[in-house]
Amino acid sequence: MNKVEILSLNVGKPKDRDFGKKSVTTGFFKERVQQAIFLSSVNFTGDGQGDLVHHGGVHKAVCVYPYEHYSHWERVLERTLPYSAFGENLTLTGMTEEDVCIGDSFQLGEAIVQVSQPRQPCFKLALVYERKDMPLLVQDTGFTGFYFRVLQEGLVSPTDQLIPLTRQALAISVAEANRLMHHDKQDLGAVRRLLEVEELSPSWRKTFEKRVAGQDVDTSKRISGES
């Protein structure tokens, strides 16, 4: 794996935002911090989520997005994007969804974190960028980012490096998990193999277990924001 550099450490509390006629409580908008902050089992100090059903919690404590994807989205959106443009806590370079596996663990300052699942883009991306298709574009490209759970709490500084500690034995990448969730849904052999990864988040495990059992899972509400 390449050297992984933290380009920006970002936090933000949920706020009510108006998007046209729609008002949404969201923690999407985050500010870059310059000092060390504490990472607990559920989030960074000063961070929060507006929708605790689909965001946050111990298995989605830290949202990570690779800076490598920014140039693609700048072309698509025809604008320059600042750090935290995807609501992430960590804007990283040197590691993408292809490089990191579900269950991999890392030293992050004083904390130890572990990859739990890919991020699933929701309708708020469409509101922020005024493009109804934005969540699907993110999902279809696989440029989703991913989540860390926290194995050990501690202070994290913007100047810290993300240091690999362990690679999960089955080595199933975030990109592969995305493929199985969104594209090759009938590759049940690969799905069963992914289910062998104990570190996979409960929400993703539940979805894949339903699929193996022949039950369909509707994700349209996450994409559209309709209740």
> Which residues touch 195 (CB under 8 Å, ≥6 apart)?
205, 208, 209, 212
pTM, full prediction: 0.93
What is residue 78's predicted lDDT score, i.e. its pLDDT?
97
What is residue 55's predicted lDDT score, i.e. its pLDDT?
57
What is residue 2's predicted lDDT score, i.e. its pLDDT?
75
Tell me whether residue 159 is in a domain.
yes
Count of structural domains, the chain: 1
Tell me whether residue 102 is in a domain.
yes
The answer to whether the beta carbons of residues 92 and 65 sit under 8 Å apart is: yes
Give the CA count within 13 Å in the CB-facing half-sphere of 87.
27
> Three-class SS of residue 39?
strand
Mean pLDDT by 10 residues, the chain (227 residues): 91 86 87 98 88 73 98 98 98 98 98 98 91 95 98 98 97 99 96 99 97 84 62
CA dihedral 199, 55, 174, 201 (to 10 degrees): 20
Tell me whether residue 33 is in a domain.
yes
Tell me whether residue 185 is in a domain.
no
- Domain containing 107 equals 5-170
What is residue 149's predicted lDDT score, i.e. its pLDDT?
98
Tell me whether residue 125 is in a domain.
yes
Tell me whether residue 164 is in a domain.
yes
What is residue 227's predicted lDDT score, i.e. its pLDDT?
46
The CATH number assigned to the domain holding 141 equals 2.40.33.20
**DSSP per residue, 172-203:** -BHHHHHHHHHT-TT-HHHHHHHHT-TTS-HH
What is residue 20's predicted lDDT score, i.e. its pLDDT?
74
Tell me whether residue 60 is in a domain.
yes
Tell me whether residue 157 is in a domain.
yes
The answer to whether the beta carbons of residues 36 and 155 sit under 8 Å apart is: yes
What is residue 49's predicted lDDT score, i.e. its pLDDT?
72
